[in-house]
Amino acid sequence: MLTVAVSVAAGVAAITSAFPALYDYRVAMGVLFIAGIATGNLRGLRESSNLFALPTYLFVFSFAGMLAYGLVRWAAGWEAAPPAEIAVPMSQDLTIFVVLRAFSSGCAALTGVEAVSDGVPAFKPPEARNARTVLAWLGIILVALFIGITFLAHHYHVTPRAEETVVSQLARLIFGGGLLYYEIQVVTMLILVFAANTAFADFPRLAYFLARDGFIPRQFGTRGDRLVFSNGILILGGLAALLILLFGGATHALIPLYAVGVFVSFTLSQASMVRRWLTRRESGWQWRWVMNGLGAATTGLVMLVIAGTKFRHGAWMVVLLIPLLVVGFLMIRRHYADVARQLSLDNYGGPPPIDHSVLVLVGDLHRGVAAALRYAQTLSASVKAVYVELDPERTRKLEEKWGKFGLGIPLVVLTSPYRSLLTPFLDYVNHLLALGENHVVTIVIPEFVPARWWQHLLHNQTALLIKGALLFRKGVVVVDVPFHLR
């Protein structure tokens, strides 16, 4: 979720840097981007599509070009560096803490490289070697871009501002605005939106595994019409959009949460590898567990430094949320195990026989009620109709009609001293339920179905009231019998 929120927020920032008039709409733009990506994924858009190759190459070459041009300008001394706009503290004691912080921030800037390791099976054979080549290239490109941008940002005295990204300021200074500047911004936006898309490919699959193992609701394990895990996509999109809303679409506010989350997962995966080597003792385990142990220690240290320094800037949420999620997962798994036990057919003697009463609740007698009576007769030979008396005069009229059109079904009249419809009826149902342990009461309610939607408002929603009062009542089944009006 944080990957989606951070990437989209940064993508929107690239656009609002180029078009400041859009700055006020950054939250709406972020939500729209997420809705667009989610819709694409619901309709079956795949990450492996060639659609994604072009912007990736464009991004690498555009940035390389920008940095090269910037360095040439610097080397040739074409322009004087503009004066520093803000006085920044020039020196700081190089304590161990400052080193740790710098190291952590640097690490956070380089996340995403590990994505290659998740995709090894998708490479052409020999998979491992090809993946290693890609990883090496990725490292070189990333480090080159990182150092290049840092160097030029220092040279041009560019400092982060809320309204304009560092990249935008740099591109503006190097190209002096114009078409090339806008190209850099659009390509940045595209690559970041595609980064968000990665999470839409991975989260629903992760959710599927968790659902299969009973740690989260099973609905995450079912595929939608286009064979995608629609529930995972919807939840991911919804929560990422919520994060954008809560943090006002500000990238810098989301980064602490993101960084803690990322390094928790890195630490956990490295630690699990250590455990694996120590348990299974496969070939080379002696030096492999040391390597992964070193990895766990490094990423764990980064996590602690970020969680500590950024605790008050939102990292506390992640620190709080992760234990809560784990507790939730365990509760859900216990519930599923419990249900499975209760439903199991082991040592099952079959369902007990049912002692069945069928009641038709009537408020009048007309064609709709008559149809419901006929239906109830097909359910049981001993149907009874129940009427709650609010006005004896109406009872007399009803009984008159009943003689002619009551289909021979006995009519039980319940008196209601306090003009309540529900209480006497519920008392009567309780009385029937008390007759035996395996007693089931089926309550048939005649219901109008008007021809047009607004006409629903014009009829008493007695059926709804009764259903509400008896919902989830043990031994009670409520059946609406619709009567369709023209």
Residues at the interface with a copy of itself (CB under 8 A): 217-219, 222-223, 225, 227, 332, 335-336, 338-339, 342-345, 348, 350-354, 356, 365-368, 370-371, 373-375, 378-380, 401, 404-405, 407, 418-420, 440, 442, 448-450, 455, 457-461, 472, 474, 476-482, 484-486
Which C-beta is closer to a copy of itself: that of 46 or that of 374?
A: 374
Which C-beta is closer to a copy of itself: that of 130 or that of 442?
A: 442
Q: DSSP states of 5-63 as a string?
A: HHHHHHHHHHHHHH-GGGGGGHHHHHHHHHHHHHHHHHTT--TTSGGGHHHHHHHHHHH
| Shortest spacing between CB 442 and a copy of itself, in angstroms | 8
233 in Cβ contact with 38 (< 8 Å): yes
Cross-strand bridge partners of residue 449: 484
Q: Which residues touch 383 (CB under 8 Å, ≥6 apart)?
A: 358, 359, 360, 373, 376, 377, 409, 444
Radius of gyration of the chain measured on its C-alpha atoms: 34
Q: How far is CA 196 from the centre of its chain?
A: 14
| Shortest spacing between CB 339 and a copy of itself, in angstroms | 6
Question: 142-154: buried (b, 16+ CB within 10 Å) or exposed (e) per residue?
Answer: eeebeebbeebbe
Angstrom distance (rounded) from CA 347 to CA 261? 47
Which C-beta is closer to a copy of itself: that of 113 or that of 465?
A: 465
| Shortest spacing between CB 369 and a copy of itself, in angstroms | 8
| Shortest spacing between CB 434 and a copy of itself, in angstroms | 17
Which C-beta is closer to a copy of itself: that of 21 or that of 345?
A: 345
Count of beta carbons in the 10 Å neighbourhood of residue 325: 12
Which C-beta is closer to a copy of itself: that of 150 or that of 455?
A: 455
| Shortest spacing between CB 355 and a copy of itself, in angstroms | 9
Which stretches of 218-314 are assigned E, i.e. beta strand? none
| Shortest spacing between CB 43 and a copy of itself, in angstroms | 16
360 in Cβ contact with 386 (< 8 Å): yes
Q: Which of the 8 DSSP states describes residue 434?
A: T
| Shortest spacing between CB 28 and a copy of itself, in angstroms | 24
Which C-beta is closer to a copy of itself: that of 15 or that of 444?
A: 444
Cross-strand bridge partners of residue 357: 441
Which C-beta is closer to a copy of itself: that of 269 or that of 442?
A: 442
176 in Cβ contact with 2 (< 8 Å): no
Q: Return the closest-CA partner of residue 27 out of 195, 204, 251, 219.
A: 251
| Shortest spacing between CB 461 and a copy of itself, in angstroms | 8
Which C-beta is closer to a copy of itself: that of 103 or that of 375?
A: 375
Which C-beta is closer to a copy of itself: that of 281 or that of 366?
A: 366
| Shortest spacing between CB 371 and a copy of itself, in angstroms | 5
Q: DSSP states of 172-190 as a string?
A: HHHH-SSHHHHHHHHHHHH
